[in-house]
Chains A and B, each alone.
Chain A
């Protein structure tokens, strides 16, 4: 492949739109051509900077409440639902039932929101840590694709020993590890590479807290969670969710742990 051909494909390649033999050809060209490689890197650099620095605007709780109220009102007004004739007793029991339901709902919602806030903070914390490590070039403190190097390095610095696996033959190459703090607790971070993407996996002993949601998106990064082998596994990356979720579940699977 020559530059004229490559130059039209570089951005699409950086966007993950080109795979198969054409992707392989382009990849080869990028290795040998400084000009096209720079262009490719500039797309990745801009993306990293956008995701790290421009705000992501999730819906506020107020907006969620507003949408809920409007949808509820619409539902009640929908003409397609025939309402049965109401006699006095039905109305009374209905009222009592509605009261009970509302109370229970409020309680469930309240606790759910508290749990959600806690795990949400964890996801945000994990993304912040991931971004900080990426930007400051301290992504890896022990660089090795050998789990027998990474594991002892981590164990020597923590009061637990995280299971470490290299899944290079499945596309996820172990590139090293480092120490981080998450929720002001020291945590082992395993660093994997998947195609052009870096995946940080935070591993800590399973806690009694409510587990975070299996998947969340924070400022464009996906945060996937799994439990297994006595550990909590939290993977953060810009790879798509359908890659990240199975990966973190695979890591957490007890039978796979060494």
Chain B
């Protein structure tokens, strides 16, 4: 089988997953497509190194690397200064009045915003776990961190989202329906 055939058979089925990850990392549609295209070129180049049925995790690893390389040359500040203070501030701001938060519009947009505001290191493990349903082991390999770090970052990501007043607002509304 030629490299291109192998690529089409093994990697293309995971293009959606790759794009979803790139989209949540870049938070921008055009940049996400550039990152995915670069990742595909790399995947084709190294397709010989892909064995067995771990194509999705393998491709996502490449997408992530392509993103960080892109980020280093386009948004270097994001990698070095992203320590979570932005979302802490956002949460504190929003905490003023849950009712006002409810008036701001669709909850889903707010939740999506809260995820997008998560620091990069937390956002990537959250997306890999909750949207791509990867195991801790796979996430550890993709993000090149120990499994313990996967767990602590996930816990941090979840607590940041749960502390967001938006979760509180949605909880209120749900119990309202039941009444």
A-side residues, CB < 8 A to B, are 11-12, 15-17, 42-43, 46-47, 49-60, 62-64, 66-67, 70-72, 74-75, 78, 136-137, 217, 219-220, 238, 240
Contact = CB atoms under 8 A, between A and B. Distances in A.
A29 B107 CA distance: 34
Nearest to B21: A57
Interface in B26-68: 32-33, 36-37, 40-41, 44
Nearest to A55: B112
B23 A57 contact: yes
A221 to B, nearest CB: 10
A70 B40 contact: yes
Interface in B108-125: 108, 111-112, 115
B7 A71 contact: yes
A42 B154 CA distance: 14
Contact of A57 (B8, B20, B126): B20
B136 A12 contact: yes
Contacts of A238: 133
Contacts of A12: 136, 151
Given A42-B162, A59-B18, A63-B37, 16 more contacts: A17-B135, A46-B162, A47-B130, A50-B115, A52-B108, A54-B108, A54-B111, A58-B20, A59-B16, A59-B19, A63-B15, A66-B33, A66-B37, A67-B36, A71-B41, A74-B41
Nearest to B136: A17
A15 B15 contact: no
B82 interface: no
Q: Looking at chain B's contact residues, is the secondary structure mostly helix, strand, loop, or mixed?
A: helix
Nearest to B4: A75
B141 interface: no
Contacts of B95: none
Contacts of B132: 220
A162 B130 CA distance: 33
A54 B133 contact: no
A53 B4 contact: no
A58 B19 contact: yes
A9 to B, nearest CB: 10
12 contacts: A46-B162, A46-B167, A50-B131, A56-B20, A60-B19, A67-B12, A67-B36, A71-B7, A75-B3, A219-B131, A220-B131, A220-B132
A64 B12 CA distance: 9
A59 B17 CA distance: 8
Contacts of B91: none
Nearest to B106: A53
Given A54-B115, A58-B19, A11 B154 contact: yes
Closest 6 CB pairs of A and B: A53-B108, A57-B23, A58-B16, A59-B19, A59-B15, A54-B112
Contacts of A57: 19-20, 23-24, 32
A53 B112 contact: yes
A237 B80 CA distance: 38
A63 B36 contact: yes
Contacts of B178: 137
A11 B136 CA distance: 11
A17 to B, nearest CB: 5
B158 A240 contact: no
B170 interface: yes
A56 to B, nearest CB: 6
Contacts of B177: 136-137
A39 to B, nearest CB: 10
B131 A51 contact: yes
Nearest to A81: B2
Nearest to A48: B130
Contacts of A17: 135-136
A46 B170 CA distance: 11
A238 B158 CA distance: 18
B161 interface: yes
B170 A71 contact: no
